[in-house]
């Protein structure tokens, strides 16, 4: 068994010890044991869990949703784990759809150009239209 102190776990995952402590407080991680001096000791499974949570966070999954999954896994509650997994898949689908929409809106913008369309009103009263909303002095 690989044993990790909080410093080693954080370093191997590429985060600070405060992130590990925060995730522990949120129920995302738990040490496998504590030394008599009170040092937390983590195992390889904790490192893998930490990496899972970091990847989820990078994918836009809320930490609360991941906490639900982690709690269910710790408790051996397969029904709750399945519910959390479905919520995660739904969130991932929403993020993927948002990325596709954003790429479609980004594609026509070349060389830092934005569409400039008149907003209306007095001559010279033009704002910036980003394909969804007008921005300008008279319309912010």
| pLDDT tens-place string over residues 85-112 | 999 999 999 999 999 999 999 888 876 6
CA distance 95 to 59: 8
Instruction: Flag the least confident range among 13-17, 108-112, 130-134.
Output: 130-134
Cβ proximity of 30 and 24 under 8 Å = yes
> pLDDT band at residue 2, thresholds of 50, 70 and 90?
confident
| Predicted local distance difference test score (pLDDT) of residue 121 | 47
CA distance 135 to 37: 59
CATH number of 1-58: 1.10.1660.10
| Predicted local distance difference test score (pLDDT) of residue 138 | 45
| Predicted local distance difference test score (pLDDT) of residue 139 | 41
State the Cα torsion 30-33-38-44 to the nearest 10°.
Answer: -70
| pLDDT tens-place string over residues 16-74 | 999 999 999 999 999 999 999 999 999 999 999 999 999 999 999 999 999 999 999 99
**Burial bucket for residue 29 (CB in 10 Å: 0-12, 13-18, 19+):** buried
């Amino acid at each position: 068994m690989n044993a990790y102190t909080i410093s080693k776990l954080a370093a191997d995952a590429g985060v600070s010890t405060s992130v590990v402590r925060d995730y522990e407080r949120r129920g995302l991680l738990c040490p496998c044991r504590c030394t008599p001096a009170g040092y937390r000791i983590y195992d390889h499974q904790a490192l893998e869990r930490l990496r899972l949570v970091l990847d989820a966070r990078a994918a836009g999954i809320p930490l609360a949703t991941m906490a639900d999954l982690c709690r269910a896994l710790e408790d051996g509650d397969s029904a709750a784990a399945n519910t959390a997994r479905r919520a995660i898949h739904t969130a991932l689908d929403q993020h993927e759809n948002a990325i596709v929409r954003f790429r479609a809106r980004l594609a026509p913008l070349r060389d830092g150009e934005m569409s400039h369309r008149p907003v209306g009103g007095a001559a010279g009263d033009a704002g910036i239209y980003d394909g969804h909303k007008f921005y300008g002095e008279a319309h912010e």
